[in-house]
Amino acid sequence: MTISETDSLIRRETAVRRAFSPSAPIKRHDLFAGRKKQLVGVGEALAEPGQHAVIYGERGVGKTSLATICADVVAPGRGITKSIKINCQSSDDFASIWRKVFNEIAIVSQMPVVGFGSGDRKIIINASQYLANVKDITPDHIRTGMRLLTSNASLAIFLDEFDRVADPSTHRFFADTLKTLSDEVIPATVILVGVADNVDELVREHASVERAIVQVRMPRMSESELADIVVNGLKAVDMSAHRAAVEHITTMSQGLPHYTHLLAQNAAASAVSGQSSVVGIFDVDSAIETAIHRAQESIRDLYYRATFSTRNNIYKEVLLACACAHTDEKGFFTAAAVRERLSTIMHKPYDVQQFTPHLNALSGERGPVLKKERRSQKFQYRFINPLVQPYITMRGLRDGMIHRSLLKPSELTRDSFT
C-alpha cells in the first residue's frame, strides 16, 4: 500500500469514528435518529409558558443525547434565547446545582463612557454574583433571580443525571421551584433528565407540580429507529450496508442506541480496512468480537462474578436465557420467558423450579446482576444495568450458544405478561 493510499485509509477510518458516537451523546442533528414523540414532548414544554419537563427511562436509552439535541436545536426553534446544560453529581444539593446554572449565565449591561468620546461601554458580569453572598439558597432566591435574568430573554435549563442527587430536601426544593416558576409564568423552562421508571422516582414531590410537568418517557428504541442510526451514520461517510448487516446490528443492540453506534462504528471500520464501502455480515461479526474485547471493565467483571464457579453449573446459560427473554416496556421479564429461552439453549425442556435458585443468586450474591421485584402477584426480573444485556447475548452468539433469531420475541413470550 502506498503512502497516499495509507493516508486515504486513515482519513476514512477517522471519518467513520466521528460518524458514530458510542461513548458520548449525539451533538449533530443530522446524525440523531428517531425519538420524534420525545422531541415533540420537550418542544411543547419549551414553547408553553409555565411548563417544565422530565425526561426519564432506563440507562443507555439516549436521554442525554435527546437533551443535547433539544438544547442545541429544539430550544432555539421555540424562541429560547439561551440553553444551559448541567451534569448533576451525587454530592450535589439544591444550592450547588443552581450555583452551577447561574455560573453559566453571562449578563451584558451598558455603562455610559465618562470623559472624552461618547456612547456606552459593554459590561459583562456572571450571574453567579447574585448568589455569591447568599448562604442558604431557597426556591424564592431562584424565583427572584430567574425573573431578573429573563426580563429580556428566555432560558432552558437541562439538568442531566438528576437521579444521582440523593438529598431528599433537594427534591422538595426543586418541586417548590418548578411550581413557583410555573405559577408566575417566568420564562425559564427546567428539564430534569435521569434514570427512573416514572416521574415520581425522579421528582419525589411530583404530586404538587404535576400540572407544570410534561412527562417524556424514553423507552428502548425500535429496530427501525436503530436502523436509521446505522443508515444515517454510514451515509455521512459515503458508505452503505447490506440489509442483513443492518438487521444484525439492530437485533444485537436490543433497543439500546449505545450498542448500535458501537457495532456500526466497528463494522464500518472493518469494511474500510477491507477497502469496501459496503458493510456486510462479516464486518458485523468482526464488530461484535471487538465490542466484547473492549467492553467496560465493570461489565466484564459483573459477568464473571455472575457466571464463575469451580463446579459445573448452568449460571452462564441461565443468564443468557435472561438476556434473550422477551421483556415488557420497562425491561421486566418473567421466569416463564426465561424457561422458554433456557430450554432452547440447553436443547431440552426445563421447569421453572430447576433454575429458580439461579435467578435468586443472580439477584443476590452473584452480582447482583438482576433486580427481582413482585409485580402483578408474581416475581419478575430485569437487568440492573441494561448495558450488560447485549454484552451477554454477543458472547452467547460468538460462542455458538445461540442464533441471533433467538433475540426475536415469540408468541409464547409475548403471552407470558398477560
Query: Sign of dihedral through CA atoms 167, 171, 176, 181?
Result: positive
Mean pLDDT of 347-358: 96
Residue 412 has pLDDT above 50, yes or no: no
Buried b (16+ CB within 10 A) or exposed e, 55-79: bbbbebbbbbbbbbbbbbbbbeebe
Set out the domains of the chain in order of their start, with CATH numbers. 3-21+222-293 (1.10.8), 35-101+136-218 (3.40.50.300), 297-415 (1.10.10)
The half-sphere exposure of 291 on its side-chain side, counting CA atoms within 13 A, is 32
**Please, which pLDDT band fits residue 121 given cuts at 50, 70 and 90?**
low
Percentage with pLDDT > 90 across the chain? 59
What average pLDDT does range 117-144 have in this prediction? 77
Based on its alpha-carbon atoms, the radius of gyration of the chain, rounded to whole angstroms, reads 25
Which residues are CB-neighbours of 18 under 8 A, at least 6 positions away? none
CA distances from 221 to 198, 402, 410 (A): 18, 23, 19
| pLDDT at residue number 152 | 84
* pTM, 2 dp: 0.84
What is the overall mean pLDDT for the chain? Answer: 87
> What's the chain's length in residues?
418
pLDDT of residue 127: 81
- Give the 3-state secondary structure of residue 152: coil
What is the C-alpha separation between 16 and 14, in angstroms, rounded?
5
Give pLDDT, residue 418: 34
- Is residue 22 a contact partner of residue 262, using CB atoms and an 8 Å limit? yes
State yes or no: pLDDT of 188 exceeds 60.
yes
- What does the alpha-carbon distance between residue 355 and residue 349 come to, in Å, rounded to a whole number? 12
Q: Output the pLDDT for position 184.
A: 92
Instruction: Quote the percentage of the chain above a pLDDT of 70.
Output: 89
In angstroms, the Cα distances linking 106 to 43, 115, 134, 186, 323 are 24, 27, 19, 18, 48
What is the pLDDT at residue 417? 34
| Alpha helices (H) along 215-296 | 223-236, 243-253, 257-273, 281-293
Would you say residue 44 has pLDDT above 80?
Answer: yes
Task: Evaluate whether 230 touches 249 at the Cβ level (below 8 Å).
Answer: yes
CA-to-CA distance for 339 and 350, rounded, in angstroms?
6
Cis bond upstream, residue 368 (ω within 30): yes
pLDDT at 413: 38
Reported as a single tens digit per residue, the pLDDT across 55-95 is 999 888 889 989 998 998 888 888 888 999 999 999 999 99
In the predicted model, what is the mean pLDDT of residues 384-410?
A: 88
CB 189 within 8 A of CB 54: no
Chain mean position to CA 270: 26
Average pLDDT over residues 257-276: 94
DSSP states along 336-370: HHHHHHHHHHHTS---HHHHHHHHHHHTTTSTT-E
Bridge partner residues of 157 (DSSP): 84, 190
| pLDDT for position 240 | 96
| Predicted local confidence at residue 414, as pLDDT | 39
The total of other beta-carbon atoms located within 10 Å of residue 103's CB is 15
Residue 172 scores a pLDDT above 60 = yes
Helix (H, G, I), strand (E, B) or coil at 93: coil
Residue 178 has pLDDT above 50, yes or no: yes
Q: Is the pLDDT of residue 26 over 80?
A: no
pLDDT for 368: 93
Q: Is pLDDT larger for residue 122 or for residue 393?
A: 393
Q: Assess whether pLDDT exceeds 90 at residue 323.
A: yes
